[in-house]
């Protein structure tokens, strides 16, 4: 017996198909980006709050190479980009997942041209990449405060400590 692919897989969009997929999304369109390596409550809460700011949420995912350049650790990301994209696409709040390999999402943000640009509370609005361009187009930029003291780095530290590798 064969089983169909889950419908959330359709929300994973290679960058070269992004233009056609964006045209089909309802507006206002919200954009955020990040690594989202080991998904936790802070991530899913943040993504749900971001989605509530518009009708669609496009997530720009750092590629594996982009994550490694951020200096998060030699073994990061733990999950590869296609696995991270699929898990994120399975979330109800996420409309579309694409990826970028640059050190910042600036080019991707200009391609998406979101109505609302969002990052987590560790970013002030003036430091959010794409903020000035989004505001100049008449869009909004939000820095959403963290509600939960969770992070992938802290989770990995606890795992490593439990394994005696910290």
pLDDT digit string, tens, across residues 62-73: 999 999 998 887
Confidence band of 5 (pLDDT split at 50, 70, 90): confident
pTM to 2 decimals? 0.89
Confidence band of 161 (pLDDT split at 50, 70, 90): confident
Domain membership of residue 152 as a residue range: 7-164
Q: What is the pLDDT of residue 150?
A: 66
| 146 falls within a domain | yes
| 31 falls within a domain | yes
Count how many domains the chain has: 1
Query: For the residues 30-40, what does the mean pLDDT come to?
Result: 94
| 70 falls within a domain | yes
Q: 156-160 long-range CB contacts below 8 Å, 24 or more apart?
A: 156/38, 156/73, 156/78
The closest of 15, 16, 19, 20 to 33, measured between CA atoms, is: 15
Q: What percent of the chain has pLDDT over 70?
A: 95
| 1 falls within a domain | no
């Amino acid at each position: 017996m064969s089983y169909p692919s889950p419908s959330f897989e359709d929300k994973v969009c290679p960058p070269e198909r992004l233009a056609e997929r964006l045209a089909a999304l309802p507006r206002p369109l919200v954009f955020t980006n990040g690594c989202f390596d080991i998904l936790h409550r802070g991530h899913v809460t943040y993504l749900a709050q971001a989605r509530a700011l518009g009708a669609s949420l496009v997530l720009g995912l750092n590629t594996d190479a982009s994550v490694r350049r951020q200096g998060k650790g030699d073994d990061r990301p733990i999950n590869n980009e296609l696995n991270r994209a699929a898990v994120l696409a399975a979330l109800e709040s996420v409309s579309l997942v694409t990826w970028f390999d640059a050190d910042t999402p600036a080019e991707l943000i200009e391609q998406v041209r979101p109505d609302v640009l969002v990052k987590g509370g560790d970013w002030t609005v003036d430091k959010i990449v794409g903020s000035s361009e989004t505001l100049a187009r008449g869009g909004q930029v939000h820095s959403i405060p963290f509600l939960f003291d969770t992070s992938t780095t802290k989770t990995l530290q606890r795992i490593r400590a439990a394994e005696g590798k910290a």
